[in-house]
Chains A and B, each alone.
Chain A
Amino acid sequence: MLKYIFRRILISIPLLLGISFLTFVLIQVTPGNFFDSLKLNPQVSPETIARYEALYHLDKPLLQQYFYWLKNLIKLDFGYSFFYNCPVSSVISGRLFNTFILSLASLIVTWTIAIPLGIWAAVHRNRLTDKILSVFSFAGLSMPSFFLAMLLLFLASQWGGLPLGGMRSANFDDLSDGGKIIDLLAHLVIPTIVISLASIASLQRIMRGNMLECLRQQYVLTARAKGLPEHRVVYVHALRNAVNPLITIFGYHLFDLLSGAALIEIICSWPGLGAVMLTAVRAKDLYLVMASMMMGAVLLLLGNLLSDILLAWSDPRVRYD
């Protein structure tokens, strides 16, 4: 197993290089660069723009720029953000934790609600609860998340009780430790609900489908025939098999942990990475985009690896050696 993990990590190095090169080229071949926005300012001369471009090596050929970036990356220097006039690492580090907290909260909420709901719906197929859950799933899937976020914020402003966006109250620093946690949790409620709802809906459907598939299998019939209690049939025999595809999905969800949800962050004023990265891509803040892409790529590869390992642990048929 260890050998397998080592091999996977080794393979991911050229993969990451390829991804980085492709991203770098793709950003650069689209017309214009970050400093184009200055070109529409009557008070900025072309010489000044050329100075800005030289400061960030944008006046060099593409390949040279890429190797320059790569060389610095090896020294763990991600370059400077044009937009924020400071190292990319300090832009990201200021927000990484915020994004992580929000994603973790929605990850936990999503999985702890969706999986039991899916099982419940499968076991009680075609009964009233299953039908209600179906309606909920379709509603959850089709409701645009920004609209839901706006709606919840509006309700909060009408009824009070929950903060209207943001991550901390103005008096956060004066609160006791317990008060700080409660304050943070209160701010988490709306964005977490919004992010989780759509994933709960889809995950619940997948879980239900898998579970139904397994419950139809002959080994379940066998288990029932030999007189096993129903809960053992469902939770031990069927569930163990039904959960496999979800482990793969879990790996992909890990990637979401640090990628952030731009739209929700913007509406809920959550100081996360998603909104920053969205602006970076739109403004062509090259090195910031590169850092975010690389972070995403690493997490995706790690998530994949993790789900493969989990799969081997949960399914005795899967072996990698």
Chain B
Amino acid sequence: MRKINRPHNRQVPRPPKILKQCSFCFCSARKSFAFLLILVFFLSFPSFVFSQEKNPSKYGGQLVLATTSDPRSFNPIVAQETSTTAITSHIFEGLTRTNGVTLKVEPHLAQSWDISPDGLLWTFHLRSGVVWSDGVSFSADDVVFTFNDLIYNEKIPTSARDAFTIDGKIFKVEKIDDLTVKFTLPFKFAPFLRGMSQEILPKHRLERIVQENKFNFALGIDSDLKDIVGTGPYQLTEYLPGQRIILKKNHLYWRKSLEGEQLPFIEKIIYMIVQSQDTLLLKFLDGEVDYCSLRGADYPLLKPEEKKKNFTIYDSGPDFGSNFIVFNQNDGINPKTKKMFVDPKKLSWFANREFRRAVAHAIDKKRIIDIVMNGLGYPQDSAESPSAEFFYNPKVIGYDYDLAKAREILEKSGFTDRNGDGIVEDKNGYRVEFNLYTNSGSTDRVQMAAMIRHDLENLGMKVNLVSIEFNDLVSRLVSTYDWDAVMIGLTGGIEPHFGKNVWASDGQLHVWYPRQEQPQSAWEKRVDDIFNQAVQELDEPKRKVLYDEWQLIVSRELPAIYTVFGANIFAVRNKFENLHPTSFGGAFHNLEEIFIKEEYR
């Protein structure tokens, strides 16, 4: 057996790109006053509660955050959208976790793990001394329970089950002893370790609830907060719907800093529920909230206030969410109407790679960034975000804005304006006119789509912009296939395999032509092979070679024409130490280790 045992340390973080160097300036009078106060405090209570904690100077204070919507549940198995995970990530933990700076998988509730030579048996050695916030010890039983009774429970709908199922086969999870768990995988599965960040839930609390078949609505927002028990650094203490959520430090938390200090340092986290981003900006400027993520348009408003209101704006680089245009290449026949899903003349354009190449060259990405994102964005060429770092391939084919070239490509494929009406016709004389759909809920995307329509009109195409409700758009994309072109966005992550449903030719989200029985083209066949091969490849550099090829193929074949990434920008009040913001983790991915400067506690 090969043994992988990584010490629990953190690599030296790279400083994130900061828009402007911050200056921590406090007037000296205030500083000395704060010092005096603290001095008085210690003189009057010489043996204060800090005595058990090694370094009293770091503890205490509160972090005030804001969220735009209420959590939908406190149950990390049933609900997984960001409004929920923002809260549950402080309460529940997984066996591993992804380091917010290095993006590498590191041990968490598991201290180390062994892997059999064939890559199918994984043995996790759990950390000893971990207790649930109600004082009961954490053990292998909890891990086995979380997988066998929750995730693999037929009666519980959860997407976690999809993450731990390969080709319809589930993993076998067994307890070896109190601190050892064995996972037997049906196939080699490279993203396994990253996936093991899956939150573990307490068996002693939930066993009966599962037996009574009530788990789907357990740990909901209407439950008693004392029943929400995790191993994480914080515990829920208050939830007022539509107003705020308060989490307090879990004094039984297992983690210690490198210097041996008990973590976390910050005593209390308050989430204010503020639905309107504009109101949030006012609250941030007013000092009520410590953190605010910014839209491009907010930047010029906040930047001049940076010094006066004592905060720093960080640009942590490109976002993970992509925005792209897809043309409907589905040549299937609608079983109800007996007609083709896509008008055959349009299909001949959309299926033509040269047509898509011309479109890619006609999109002025820089203008989109300047206008929609106030200059705070990045042109996108690859299917992966540059923020994914390791798996990102910077050497894909780029499509610069070049209208002349786009025209030339179109003309070569027989698209010219034959009757002088300003709109190009194809070889058969049909006017190139199509509908571009987008969802009306996202104003940024509607604006981008409008600009792209303008760009394509410069190319001589007649584009009708149709913005519809999200649900309507989704049902067109995944079930009725009634659309020409669409501008959508998908959230992304570090692990390319989790996008398999988009890239595999039989995938439901293979938007341009979903659920193919046989790959329709040679390159789609190759991409299928790449994904099947890469998921079994446990050697990371070899995996990278495969995913690099996939990104190259996509940039050549252009099933999706990428546009721009937003920049992940946020403003943080200058009251924290040990902050290492990244695009993946945001400002507070290392929250337990962050502490508040004395004068702000």
Contacts and interface: CB of A to CB of B under 8 A. Distances in A.
B217 A80 contact: yes
A276 interface: yes
A36 B472 CA distance: 9
B425 interface: no
B404 interface: no
A282 B191 CA distance: 35
Contact of A86 (B220, B470, B476): B220
Interface string B478-502: 1010000000101100000011111
Interface residues of A, number: 58
Interface stretch (A17-25, A130-138, A261-269, A295-303): A261-269
Contact of B78 (A54, A85, A153, A269): A85
A140 interface: no
Contacts of B472: 30-32
Contacts of A42: 490, 498-502, 507, 509
A109 to B, nearest CB: 22
Nearest to B440: A282
B274 A269 contact: yes
B282 A95 contact: no
A164 B283 contact: yes
Interface stretch (B235-243, B256-264, B414-422, B459-467): B235-243
Interface stretch (B20-28, B53-61, B86-94, B158-166): B158-166
A128 B70 CA distance: 50
Interface string B94-136: 0000000000000000000000000000000000000000000
Contacts of A270: 242
B513 to A, nearest CB: 16
A275 B275 contact: yes
A32 B273 contact: no
Interface residues of B, number: 61
Interface string A44-67: 111111011011000000000000
A202 interface: no
A33 interface: yes
B325 to A, nearest CB: 16
A86 B73 contact: yes
Nearest to A154: B282
B220 A43 contact: no
Contacts of B156: 51
Contacts, number: 160
B79 interface: yes
Contact of B75 (A52, A85, A166): A85
Contacts of A154: 282
A37 B474 contact: yes
B266 to A, nearest CB: 16
Given A85-B216, A164-B282, A32 B509 contact: no
Given A43-B162, A86-B222, A150-B278, A271 B475 contact: no
Interface string A158-174: 00000011111010000
B471 interface: yes
Which of B273, B283, B285, B500 counts the most chain A CB atoms within 10 A?
Answer: B283
A98 B242 contact: yes
Nearest to A262: B275
B477 interface: yes
Contacts of B272: 166, 269
A37 B471 contact: yes
A142 interface: no
Interface of B: 69-70, 72-73, 75, 78-79, 154, 156-159, 161-163, 165, 216-217, 220-222, 240-244, 270, 272-276, 278-279, 282-283, 285-286, 288, 441, 469-472, 474-478, 480, 488, 490-491, 498-502, 507-509
11 contacts: A31-B472, A31-B476, A34-B471, A43-B159, A43-B163, A52-B157, A90-B222, A267-B275, A268-B279, A275-B275, A284-B471
Interface of A: 30-34, 36-49, 51-52, 54-55, 80, 83-87, 90-91, 94-95, 98, 150, 153-154, 157, 164-168, 170, 265-272, 275-276, 279, 282-284
Given A31-B476, A43-B501, A170-B244, 20 more contacts: A30-B471, A31-B471, A33-B471, A37-B474, A38-B159, A42-B490, A42-B509, A45-B162, A47-B162, A55-B157, A84-B72, A91-B222, A94-B222, A94-B241, A150-B278, A165-B279, A168-B243, A170-B270, A269-B275, A269-B276
